[in-house]
Chains A and B, each alone.
Chain A
């Protein structure tokens, strides 16, 4: 089955710096890669996603890049703010073909932004 590895497990940055979280996946059939943010005590919420036919996607201060050949994708957060502090999860949808829904998540990255 699919295996998703996420690094680093913890990341500490100063406000205004950039943060990068990286994930690798094992199943070349995976074709959908979402990123979720989970604040303390709350439910995960989607922040950005990318499909396998796209190499990069941006939404204001966040961006995701995908390298299908190397089977890795990354989350980039620029101009970090204290409210970006949370746990971030990457995931890969490896149901394959016309099917979908078998999501495998990474282990999570605890991001702390210091004022």
Chain B
């Protein structure tokens, strides 16, 4: 089954404790992206990647890191999480500039 998976789905952590949210797709898509969704603000792009080892900043990259060492994986790293990073995070992938397939989301709470 073609899909985008994210782990964990839910995470409660404390300020400053490094964490990684994994994202994987099995559709051989070149493009992958991370978004955060906050009430009233819609979906805001954090980082995106057009291919292996090619990443670029979205609109809200501060406090986040990404890497794209393999085509199928695009982890999101929070080196020192803060409460303002409490949000719902979505990973997405696509074949070029086309329909993006979203993962199920990761609800992160930073205390």
With both chains docked as a complex, state the minimum distance between the C-beta of A114 and any C-beta of chain B, in angstroms. 23
Spell out B's residues near A (CB within 8 Å): 31, 33, 35, 40-45, 48-50, 56, 58-59, 90, 96-100, 102-105
Measured CA separation A108–B41 after assembly (Å): 8
Q: Which of A45, A100, A108 contacts B97 (CB 8 A)?
A: A100
Task: Contact check, B56 vs A105: say whether CB atoms are below 8 A apart.
Answer: no
Q: Which of A6, A43, A100 contacts B50 (CB 8 A)?
A: A100
| Number of cross-chain contacts by CB at 8 Å | 57
Task: Contact check, A99 vs B50: say whether CB atoms are below 8 A apart.
Answer: yes
Task: Contact check, A43 vs B97: say whether CB atoms are below 8 A apart.
Answer: no
Task: Contact check, A107 vs B40: say whether CB atoms are below 8 A apart.
Answer: yes
Task: Contact check, A104 vs B97: say whether CB atoms are below 8 A apart.
Answer: no
A-side contacts of B103, CB under 8 Å: 43
Q: Which of B41, B43, B96, B105 contacts A100 (CB 8 A)?
A: B96
Known: A91-B43, A104-B59. 11 other contacts (CB 8 A): A6-B42, A34-B99, A43-B105, A93-B97, A95-B97, A99-B50, A102-B58, A103-B58, A105-B42, A106-B42, A107-B40
Closest A residue by C-beta to B94? A101
Task: Contact check, B99 vs A46: say whether CB atoms are below 8 A apart.
Answer: yes
**A contacts with B, residue count (CB < 8 A):** 23
Q: Which of B43, B48, B105 contacts A89 (CB 8 A)?
A: B43
Measured CA separation A44–B99 after assembly (Å): 11
Measured CA separation A101–B97 after assembly (Å): 6
A-side contacts of B105, CB under 8 Å: 43
Task: Contact check, A101 vs B33: say whether CB atoms are below 8 A apart.
Answer: yes
Task: Contact check, B100 vs A46: say whether CB atoms are below 8 A apart.
Answer: yes
Closest A residue by C-beta to B49? A101
Closest B residue by C-beta to A103? B45
Task: Contact check, A34 vs B100: say whether CB atoms are below 8 A apart.
Answer: yes
> Can you list 8 residue pairs at the A/B interface with Cβ under 8 Å?
A34-B99, A44-B43, A49-B99, A89-B43, A100-B96, A103-B33, A103-B100, A105-B43
